[in-house]
Amino acid sequence: QVQLVESGGGLVQAGDSLRLSCAASGRTLSSYGMGWFRQAPGKEREFVAAINWISGNTYYEDSVKGRFTISRDNAKNTVYLQMNSLKPEDTAVYYCAASVRALSSTWAPSEGMYSYWGQGTKVTVSS
């Protein structure tokens, strides 16, 4: 079992930055793929970014490319989402997820690839 706890959300203004963290416990993430998803009010949850733990390959949803960066710290068993140039449309609850399978550009956006989910952290971007 893997427990995931997100943190770092908050209320910011458009153009600001935030860094979300996802700390894992229960097992090390050395063979997992990690993803970030988000769910805006009244909308379905959508893929944001993912990283393969071993290779470090990363994948991004088009609207966040160049603004968001996913990274991981093996020693801390933690994955991060650095969010720059935030926009009001980035407002959502952000969820961290862990996959026991290697991710690819095709499968990283699929929620079905992920076995473990965090409780979410809320990000609000004001205009």
Q: How far apart are CA 68 and CA 43, in angstroms?
A: 21
What tens digit of pLDDT does each residue of 27-44 get? 766 667 999 999 999 999
Q: How far apart are CA 105 and CA 110, in angstroms?
A: 10
Q: Looking at residues 85-97, what average pLDDT do you find?
A: 98
What tens digit of pLDDT does each residue of 42-75 get? 999 999 999 988 788 999 999 999 999 999 988 8
Instruction: Give the number of other Cβ atoms within 10 Å of residue 85's Cβ.
Output: 13
Q: How far apart are CA 116 and CA 73, in angstroms?
A: 18
DSSP code of residue 82: E
Question: Strand pairing partners for 48?
Answer: none
Residues in the chain: 127
Q: How far apart are CA 107 and CA 124, in angstroms?
A: 28
